[in-house]
Structure 1
Amino acid sequence: MVSRKLEEKIRSLSERAALSLLGKVQVTPDFFTLMSLLLTCIVVWLLAQGLLGWAGLLFLFASAFDMVDGAVARSKGLVRPFGAFLDSTIDRYSEMLVFFGLLLYTYLHTSAFSPLYALLIFIASHGSLLTSYIRARAETLGFDGRGGIIERPGRVIILAFGMLSGWLTVALVSLAILTQVAALQRFAFVWRQSRTDYL
């Protein structure tokens, strides 16, 4: 899948950068995970202030922090189940915070806000959560829940593009469609794996 190749490429580049720049820093991987959440909270504040472009830049930076925590954990031999659990949980909080920030931005600073626009943000955020949930639930049952037309790195890029370009509606429509398609793809993939149980 294109999305999986993109995710692997982005993570590979992030990990190499992390190891060269942060490999000797005396902090735990959880520091980077929590820092990404703190930076995302600042993204929400920037959106509430109407600073859309700055919010987009900081969102990319915060997402980079999210990608390096795993690399630092592996390089220092600090990989542990709770670290992975914390990372996954913070990812979900961060995504929902950004969608909330976009809701604030459109309500406070544009004339685009309407019930239909709020519904669009809901569908996009729902799709983002659902794709992540399907993977997590599938993996607890022993299935591979990865894949789909778009994964987290792709969602980050589309959201950041929307903020940096000002084309929020285009970004949100794209996410609303792509995340729901990805969720259905993951569901179908897990269903196909489950069929082998009856063969």
Structure 2
Amino acid sequence: MISSRIEYIDHWGANHLVSPSLPVRAFLTVIYLLAKPFVKLKIHPNLITLLGGLLAILASLLFINQVWVFAGLLAGFSTFLDGIDGAVATIQNKRSKFGAVLDAVVDRIAETSWFLALLSAGANIYFVLAAVFSIFCLEYFRTKGQSLGVTSVGAVTVAERPTRVIMFSMLSFAMPLQSEWELITSMGALIMALLAAGSAVLVLLRFTNQIRNNSSR
């Protein structure tokens, strides 16, 4: 049972095979504090995961219906829930393989719904497909590497889910300020595709390099 913020941060670092940087420690501190009420209420972490996914999809529907500001706010709130579920599972000692799979599946469904929302506003379909493919590759490479005990793949890149959510929220807030919807959504999808692709390549290189180094010893 995790009983303090420091224990939680240390556990997160050990679980992700990294030493959390100062910004990550700050983010984890916020998540830990937000998770405490859920722990006291004894809410199951899988329920929080599903709630976060539903809110993310609702954000997409609001975006499609041009309720831009609320879409951005709801997407941001759903991301906090995405972090809180893991914190609650850790604090309550309820981490499980099912919970990890559920979290990953819900995340991918939520993000796919966001890109469908961008398509509805006129985003270039090729940019959107490239972004979705790159994100899936990034998450797969990292998960595969960590499952094999590769410590250098990294748990934090410039294309993490919080970064992607921030970009979606920024697009949502920017939409009512101009009329070039196709341009802004296409550029947003392209930037996300480039960030995710670059991060995926970096993770893959770290993965293969450590495997090669280990095999040569």
Q: How far 1:58 moved relative to its partner?
A: 0.6
2:192 pairs with 1:175: yes
Number of corresponding residues: 188
- Cross-structure match for 2:34: 17
User: Which amino acid letter does the alignment assign opposite residue 42 of structure 2?
Assistant: Q
- Cross-structure match for 2:96: 80
Classify 1:48/1:149 alpha carbon distance in 2 versus 1 (closer, same or farther; 3 Å): closer
Q: How far 1:7 moved relative to its partner?
A: 4.4
Equivalent residue of 1:176, what SS?
helix
Equivalent residue of 1:23, what SS?
helix
Q: How far 1:52 moved relative to its partner?
A: 2.0
2:210 pairs with 1:193: yes
Please say if residues 39 and 58 of structure 1, whose CA atoms lie closer than 8 Å, have aligned partners that are also in contact. yes
Q: How far 1:12 moved relative to its partner?
A: 2.9
- Cross-structure match for 2:4: none
Please say if residues 7 and 153 of structure 1, whose CA atoms lie closer than 8 Å, have aligned partners that are also in contact. no
User: Which amino acid letter does the alignment assign opposite residue 125 of structure 1?
Assistant: V
Please list the CA deviations of residues 103-147 of structure 1 after superposition, one character each: whole Å capped at 9, or x if unmatched.
12x14xxxxx5xxx1111111222111111111121222223324
Q: How far apart in 2 are the matches of 1:4 and 1:179?
A: 20
- Cross-structure match for 1:143: 150
Classify 1:181/1:64 alpha carbon distance in 2 versus 1 (closer, same or farther; 3 Å): same
Deviates more, 1:69-78 or 1:177-186: 69-78
TM-score (norm 2): 0.78
Q: How far apart in 1 are the matches of 2:46 and 2:206?
A: 32
Structure 2 gaps of 5+ residues are 1-17, 176-183
Could you list the runs of 4 or more consecutive aligned residues of structure 1 that deviate by over 3 angstroms after TM superposition? 3-9, 167-170
1:69 pairs with one of 85, 91, 101? 85
Q: How far apart in 2 are the matches of 1:118 and 1:137?
A: 28
Cα RMSD of the aligned pairs, angstroms, is 2.2
Equivalent residue of 1:99, what SS?
helix
User: Which amino acid letter does the alignment assign opposite residue 134 of structure 1?
Assistant: F
2:173 pairs with one of 157, 161, 164? 164
Q: How far apart in 1 are the matches of 2:130 and 2:26?
A: 28
Q: How far apart in 1 are the matches of 2:117 and 2:21?
A: 28
Please say if residues 33 and 69 of structure 1, whose CA atoms lie closer than 8 Å, have aligned partners that are also in contact. yes
Q: How far apart in 1 are the matches of 2:91 and 2:27?
A: 18
Q: How far 1:29 moved relative to its partner?
A: 0.5
Q: How far apart in 2 are the matches of 1:198 and 1:89?
A: 36
Classify 1:131/1:12 alpha carbon distance in 2 versus 1 (closer, same or farther; 3 Å): farther
- Cross-structure match for 1:40: 56
Q: How far 1:195 moved relative to its partner?
A: 1.5
Please list the CA deviations of residues 66-108 of structure 1 after superposition, one character each: whole Å capped at 9, or x if unmatched.
110011112222222221221122111111111112212x14x
- Cross-structure match for 2:45: 29
